[in-house]
Amino acid sequence: MYHIPVLLDQCIEGLNIKPEGIYADATFGGGGHSCAILERLESGRLIGFDQDSDAADNIPKDDRFQFVNQNFRFLINFLRLYNALPVDGILADLGISSHQIDVAERGFSSRFEGKLDMRMNRHQPLSALEIVNNYSPEELSRIFKEYAELKNSVQIADAIVAQREKKHIETTADLTVAVSRCFPPNKRNKYLAMIFQALRIEINDELNALKDFLIQSCEALKPGGRLVVIAYHSLEDRLVKNFIKSGNAEGKLEKDFFGNTKVPFKAITRKPIVPDEAEIKKNSRARSAKLRIAEKI
């Protein structure tokens, strides 16, 4: 299976789908969430975004569906192009798909040996291979500190530089060897996942893309429209939480001339919705998912 949709029922309920409404699935992937949305539409429409061209293999044969092979940071441009503004709901599952993890040649996981890549959009020039072999020690340290919050980021950067001076780092296995002495053996998988996550965020400019998407989602939604977002690590979830709270990534509340707080959204979920044990047992990759739902005021 390309990807098992996470928190499917909760997402669909959160969208509060109208049969005649217009919706956007900002992270189409395997199409699981999109298919569930289409089942509840009658005369409505759904626009699906995914920058990974592999996702095109999952496009449903449905005249109500339009696929956009682009990053969701271009949400407004393409919704306008397809005369789909404003929308009644937007869904974004920020996780990497099972397909991307399990295909070794994509280089997203330390579990499989493959060429270092990690590009969501395989047409872009920057890959993990370029970063680990060409970034300065300071740049590498910044990535691991900012995007994985690793306290020994300098040590990890130095280990990578030392390894590449001996031999060009080509594969996921080469990278694993380079950093293996930077963490205890019993925490190997945890630390490797954090290192790979940090590189993936840098390569795909994920946090800046998320900020762009969130700002545009506010503009794209009609009043009463729903924003439904699943995050998988604290950096993403913090951005989503702050944006719902304040309309900006910093979570800073702004006031008008009369001192009234201006917020574009009403939080539907006070706390994030997380998968139950039954879903985690069925799909272990859902374990870290946090779902937040908001309604545009």
**The CATH number of the domain where 104 resides is what?**
1.10.150.170
In a shared domain, residues 193 and 107: yes
Angle in degrees, CA 173, 177, 179, rounded to 5: 120
Q: Which of 204, 230, 259 is the last residue of a domain?
A: 204
Residue 191 has pLDDT above 80, yes or no: yes
| Mean pLDDT, rounded, for 199-218 | 98
pLDDT at 1 over 70: no
If you average pLDDT over every residue of the chain, what do you get?
95
Question: Is 3 part of a structural domain of the chain?
Answer: no
Tell me the pLDDT band of 101, cut-offs 50, 70 and 90.
Answer: confident
pLDDT at 230: 98
103 shares its domain with 197: yes
Number of domains within the chain: 2
Q: What percent of the chain has pLDDT over 70?
A: 100
* 89 and 210 together in one domain: yes
SS3 for 49? strand
Does the global pTM surpass 0.85? yes
Segment 185-210 mean pLDDT = 95
Calculate what percentage of the chain has a pLDDT beyond 90.
89
Same domain membership, residue 212 and residue 257: yes
CATH of the domain at 282: 3.40.50.150
Q: What is the pLDDT of residue 262?
A: 85
Enumerate residues 6+ apart whose C-beta is below 8 A from 41: 17, 19, 20, 21, 23, 64
Q: Mean pLDDT, to the nearest integer, of 212-218?
A: 98
Using a 10 angstrom Cβ sphere, with 0-12 exposed, 13-18 middle and 19 or more buried, the burial of residue 270 is exposed
Residue 120's domain comprises 99-204
Question: Is the domain of 289 the same as that of 214?
Answer: yes
Would you mind telling me the total number of residues written for the chain in this entry?
297
More confident site: 6 or 185: 6
Q: Which domain-ending residue is among 139, 172, 204? A: 204
With beta carbons less than 8 A apart as the criterion, state whether 170 and 115 touch.
yes
**For position 254, what pLDDT does the model report?**
86
